Amino acid sequence: MSGGFTRFAEPVAAEIGFCAPRLPIVLDIAAGALAGTVQLPIVDSTRKRSELEEALIAGNLDRVLSMAVGDGAK
């Protein structure tokens, strides 16, 4: 699960064997280059928490087997 940029999160997910990155932030591309903007919605900490909890339920996983790491961005 990542709130990271798709240009970086998707290759890393593939490299380490994650099924699919979730909660991506999509960077806008203009004329083949980064435009310096992102597509909406911006995923906030509340959404990240609910997505993690839903993934635990869907995978029938105990919460103590999960780990969440964040950078403190809001």
The alpha carbon of 69 is separated from its chain's Cα centroid by a whole number of angstroms, namely 11
Check residue 52 and give its pLDDT.
85
How far is Cα 55 from Cα 15, in angstroms, rounded to an integer? Answer: 21
Cα gap 64→74, rounded to integer Å: 25
State residue 30's pLDDT score: 92
pLDDT score recorded for residue 57: 93
**Which residues touch 55 (CB under 8 Å, ≥6 apart)?**
1, 22, 61
pLDDT of amino acid 62: 92
* Predicted local confidence at residue 25, as pLDDT: 80
For residue 26, the model assigns a pLDDT of 83
Local mean pLDDT, 10-residue blocks, the chain (74 residues): 71 78 79 89 80 89 82 61
In the chain, the amino acid numbered 65 is L
